[in-house]
Structure 1
């Protein structure tokens, strides 16, 4: 039996088809995933939906912005792959070590992606923890025989990227979950360990954490050290005669079942005579010493200068 659509159905199909063709002609280059987690390796899949004014795409050029590191582009059959490196505006940190330079541009060239076809271009990237909460634009240029599609426009703060004619592909950076690293010393659980970044030339830095005593006996934090400091001290901020003052304490008691929090404006650790600045995004080693549980090695995640909470920790209302 032969099906003949009605006039209304035929008209509707024609409108839908025209709409799809129109949206395809205006389709932008975008990333498959619109979000990425700061500090973690991400698979970035760039989607190219059409060519340049009807011409096949022969090259795809990606500019890597500041704060995006550990770039590893994926080779693509039928395309030449090159990666240009250069210095960062300031050192980044990767696996706890400073990195001064990296990939600044990726180029897939020598291909022939017809205007009527779709394809994907893939690379690995890591986003600095400092980018958490921001939307990062990554400019892309499609190069054809006699034309280009330049997806390089970046929205001004507060503006909508959808209003741009040729917006750069964007990805929203979310913070990694705080408190994933848990350190144990007997019945004590140490977590949410972090420090504040320090300006160049500073001689001291602050460290913060929480300790829970799951045991039946009280314990006491009596010492702290780090390879990046001459020595460590335990401090507290307290009001004295209406004035906030800092003083060294000899120990911090943790009763059975109690959780204590070392945080800005209260009890905290002090890195004294640091050997270099603490940099946001890095991880630094330290050691806590408890009276009964003994020593425990920990790692501090460094948050930006002046931060009030650990990287990735959200305020609660």
Structure 2
């Protein structure tokens, strides 16, 4: 085999390997190009005392062409941050429960408001007073991570 054929064959093998591996989905990696963006709006946090709990509210708008999943929530103001939902339990008493990795369809919104979905901030590491702000980080399966600073308000 002459050297030009060997170079051509080697090049084709490399291109073939690259083409195959670029289309394979590997766990923890994002697939494809993301068109559009996820927007965060209308956010605020309830006042609370150090060591206690608070709730954060906002709207997540999925303006991408694909559904996305909220994988994790964190905040520097609390030891733990989780998405919770309020619901009417036994005897009509309101209760809360964690929500695991909600899917936000393309073109839709996840509204967080009192009495519905909210981010539960647990074991606060400082007092949250009206006028303060709280940083919250949201991690998604496709668009990666977003951070937002929310004002502390008694009620909007």
TM-score for the superposition, normalised by structure 2: 0.71
Alpha carbons 2:50, 2:125 under 8 Å: kept: no
Contact 2:81 2:122 (C-alpha < 8 Å) held by counterparts = yes
1:237 pairs with one of 86, 99, 118: 86
Q: How does 1:239-258 map to 2 (within 5 A)?
A: 239-241=88-90, 242-258=92-108
The 4+ residue runs of structure 1 with deviation greater than 4 A are: none
Cα displacement (A) at 1:252: 2.1
Change in Cα spacing, 1:276 to 1:258, as seen in structure 2 (3 Å) is: same
| Pairing partner for 1:227 from 70, 76, 99 | 76
* Match of residue 216, structure 1, among 43, 50, 65: 65
Of the candidates 250, 266, 284, which is equivalent to residue 116 of structure 2?
266
| Aligned twin of 1:283 | 133
Q: Aligned pair 1:203/2:52, yes or no? A: yes
**Cα RMSD after superposing both structures:** 1.5
Residue pairs, 1:1-80, within 5 angstroms:
none
Q: Rg larger in 1 or in 2? A: 1
Normalization by structure 1: what TM-score?
0.36
Do the aligned residues in 1 keep the contact of 2:51 with 2:125 (CA within 8 Å)?
A: no
| Alpha-carbon displacement from aligned partner over 1:249-289 (angstroms, at most 9, x marks no partner) | 11222111112211111000011110111110112212111
2:37 matched to 1:187? Answer: yes
Distance in structure 2 (CA, Å) of the matches to 1:234 and 1:223: 9
Alignment correspondent of 1:301? 151
Question: Displacement of 1:237 after TM fit?
Answer: 0.2
Partner Cα separation in structure 2 for residue 270 and residue 256 of structure 1: 25
Change in 2 beyond 3 A, CA 1:247/1:216: same
C-alpha displacement at 1:202, in angstroms? 5.0
Bigger proportion of residues as strand: 1
Cα deviation, 1:7-28, whole Å, max 9, x if unaligned, reads: xxxxxxxxxxxxxxxxxxxxxx
Indicate the structure whose relative CO is greater, using CA pairs within 8 Å and at least 6 residues apart.
2
Question: Structure 2: which 5+ residue stretches go unaligned?
Answer: 1-35
Offset, 1:201 = 4.8
1:156-186 residue CA offsets vs partner (Å, 9 max, x unmatched): xxxxxxxxxxxxxxxxxxxxxxxxxxxxxx6
* Structure with the larger helix share: 2
